[in-house]
Amino acid sequence: MTKILIPILSKEEENQEFLDEATQKVDVIFLLLVMDTDVSLSRLGYTTKEMWSASKKLEQVKSAIGKKRKTVNEFTVWGPTIEKIINSAIIHQVDRVVLKRSDEKEFKKLEDSLRKGLKKEKITVHVI
């Protein structure tokens, strides 16, 4: 059984091409919404001030995936984005974390931090 974690970060994860590729040959999908108080990553993900729009985005992504008849679990956590993604991936024992590519300068830092933090757990990071 293949499990993935998709953090809702780029505000474009409901893109159907991204979801098609991300969920191909996957049994269980975890959608993670991190409400981050760190403004340095605010261009990636959502700050606490954006709670309403973040929840709406999560529902849009869940709805788009639901059409594929996959098991989708959603959850929201509060705290530092990178730390919460790593912890959530470990707790839910996913095989990989799938990120929607972003041109934001903070994205490379996020990607590198996730790869480093998940390497010892043998959880891969895929960027689509």
Nearest partner of 88 among 32, 40, 13, 26, judged by Cα: 32
State how far the Cα of 116 lies from the Cα of 103, in Å rounded to an integer: 20
Q: What is the pLDDT of residues 87-103, one digit of tens each?
A: 999 999 999 999 999 98
For the cut 70, the answer to whether the pLDDT of residue 40 exceeds it is no
Q: Total structural domains in the chain?
A: 1
Q: For 42-91, write each residue's pLDDT tens digit.
A: 567 787 788 888 899 999 999 988 777 788 999 999 988 899 999 999 99
Q: Residue 92 phi/psi, 5° resolution?
A: -90, 5
Distance CA 72, CA 57 (A): 15
Question: Where residue 55 sits, what CATH number does that domain have?
Answer: 3.40.50.620
Residues spanned by the domain of 84: 3-127
DSSP letter, residue 104? S
Which residue stretches of 5-104 are H helix? 16-22, 51-66, 81-91
